[in-house]
Structure formats: structure tokens, C-alpha cells
Structure 1
Amino acid sequence: MCRGRCKGIVPSYWQRRSPARSRVRSGAGSAPSPWDENTVPPSFLPQLKTPSILFICTGNICRSPTAHVLLMHKARATGLDVEVDSAAISDEERGNPPDRRSVAEAKRRGITMHAHVARQVRKSDFDRFDLIIGMTAQHCAALRRLAPAGTEDKIHLFTEYAEGIEGDVPDPWYGGQKDFIEVFDLIDHGVAGLLAKLQAEAR
């Protein structure tokens, strides 16, 4: 969605404790153990990091905010804790809200687009997020040029998670509402695949 005016790119984790509780039994005839009541000191409980996902598109007003809101919506429905954000390669749309056609399609499907202001990807995002998912191969290439050493493996193409689909997620900005519907369907499919992967890793 550069529209010929794209500028160059500018080169919290939440933690939760596992609900599972260990039980340590004392030997027969020994003094009662303070750990016998299905509990252990908090310092012994495993620390599980909430997965964090950043979606990337060109201007951060169509594709990436749609993926953002869909993952939030689906994760909430399944009870999965996840940190989600979205950002742009270009700074052209910085400060703008989501495209009204993206908002309308989400609303048509019963999903309220969260309050969102487009922003450009930052180098600090590569430390903050576990997965940085570009909508096109070009986005991924730009992200790799920006990525600090050792963070390149976090970058993935969105359609890696959309079973049966390869290549880029097309930019609907140049089309009509029909294009927004088709892209919404594609993103919905990919987000479902991503969520399934996150759930499997959380088990």
C-alpha cells in the first residue's frame, strides 16, 4: 500500500505461572512436610512466558491490524494468553486509523476493530516479540535488513501458517470491498493456523 510514496524504513513480556501444582510426599513416619498440601514454594513453580506476536504489512492500516484483531479475538475465545501488536514497514500511514473497509468487514463478522493507530516497526520490536510475521516476502526481506543480529529467525511469512496457501497476502487497499472480504478470509485462515501452533506449544 505504498502508493508510490513509501519512505525508507527506520532502521513486557507477561508471565504466568502454571496452574499445575506439584506434590511432594514425606516418608512414612517422618515429620509432616510443609509441602504435603499440594503446593510448593512459588520459586519452584515453572515460569511460562506469554507468546508475543507482531504482524507487519506496508502501512499498518489493512492487513496487519486485521490479523492483530483476529488473533486477539480467537485467542480470547480459547483462553490462550497472547501478546499481539502490528506495525508497518513504511511510515506513510503513521498515526492513521485502520482502513474503514477493514473495519467494516470485521464488523460485518461480529468483530469490533480495536482502537488502533498505525506505527512503523522499531528495532526494539525484535527483542520484544517472539514472532514477527510479514504479509509478503518483500516485507520479510525488509525486516531481515532491519533485524539485529541473532533475531532473524523470528521473521516469518504469514502464509506459512495458512495451510494450502503459498505466497503473499495481497494488499486490498487498491481494490474494492470484494478484495477486503477475500483478504479477510485468507487472514482468518492463517490466524487459525497460527493459533493452533501456539496452543500446541503451550501444552
Structure 2
Amino acid sequence: QLLYEMGDPKEYITPDVTADFTSIHLETAGEDRVRVFGIKGKPNTDFYKVSIAYSAGWKAVGTLVYAWPDAYEKAKAADLILRSRLDRLGLKFDQILTEFVGVNATHGHLSGEPSPDIPEVQLRVGVRGQNRAAVERFTKEIAPLILTGPPAVTGFAGGRPKVEEIMAYFPALIPKSLVETSVEIIEV
């Protein structure tokens, strides 16, 4: 709990108290035991912390694998072809993310250029947007790259990408005066 959703360590709100973790001390108190002390508490606030989940649009991710020779160049060309098709169709997304797995998916531009002899590159393209129909159309545009894109493609990875709803998280504070609390005991 000391590291999870801390936010402001000087004003950590709990239902019972507002804790100040800036003066915390930890020391070994035996095998598998830690002594925690020095945390200061203040009266609780007039607010409850709430976790709000809401629908934040739609997403889909598609992958294709390009083989040597020139695997990276082929994957980049396929990405340009796909983006050009999406533009021509007038499809709008909040985000289009392309990764070249095996080249730069983890370290991005810090990876530098790969060896020209790289044996394979996975093109991974994802879109996120508010319009489900646009995201659905994206799933229909990536598959044709197998026959109409660069050669030596494989790994269709289970068929056409699936559209998924995005559930987003929003932490907030609400006044306790707006919440009616009650306890009900039910015997079963």
C-alpha cells in the first residue's frame, strides 16, 4: 500500500484519516517482519475517494510479420500503405500507434536502425477512437495487406482484429454529504 496509488504522500486520504507518509520509517523487525513507524495522521476529510470506470471509446490491434530480406523496410511500407488507405477513407482516430516488434517496440528511437539482415519484423498497428464504425473499418483494412502489400508476409495471428470497448479509470473525490450510508444485515 505504501507505493500503490499514493498520489500526494503528504495528504493520503483514507476513509478514517488523512495520512502523511513523508516522515515514515521502516526497519527490520525479524525474519519476514518489518516495523513501520513515524507516519502522522490528521482528521479525515469531507470527501470520499471514488474510482470511476467509464466507456472511453473503442480500440483494435492488428499484426503482420514480414520476413527477410528487407523485413523492416517491408513492414514500414505496409504501415504507410495502411495509413494511406485510412486517410483516403476519411477515418479519424484519437490515436494510431505503430510498433515494429523486433526493431523498436520496447526502446523506440533509442534502438537505432536495425541490421539490414534482420530475419523478421512484426508490424503491430493499433487504433483508438470514439467511433466504433471507424475502428471496425480499420480491422477490414489491415487484412488486405497480405495480398496487396509488400511480399513475404506471414503470421495473420488468428484472423481479423477484434474491436474492443475501452473502459477507462478516473479517480475522484466526492463530498461525503452526497453519499447516504446505511448498514443492512441479512440472514441467509
Normalised to the residue count of structure 1, the TM-score between the two structures is 0.24
**Which structure shows the higher helix fraction?**
1
- The higher radius of gyration belongs to 2
Q: Which fold has the larger relative contact order, with Cα–Cα distance below 8 Å and residues 6 or more apart in sequence? A: 2
**Which structure shows the higher strand fraction?**
2
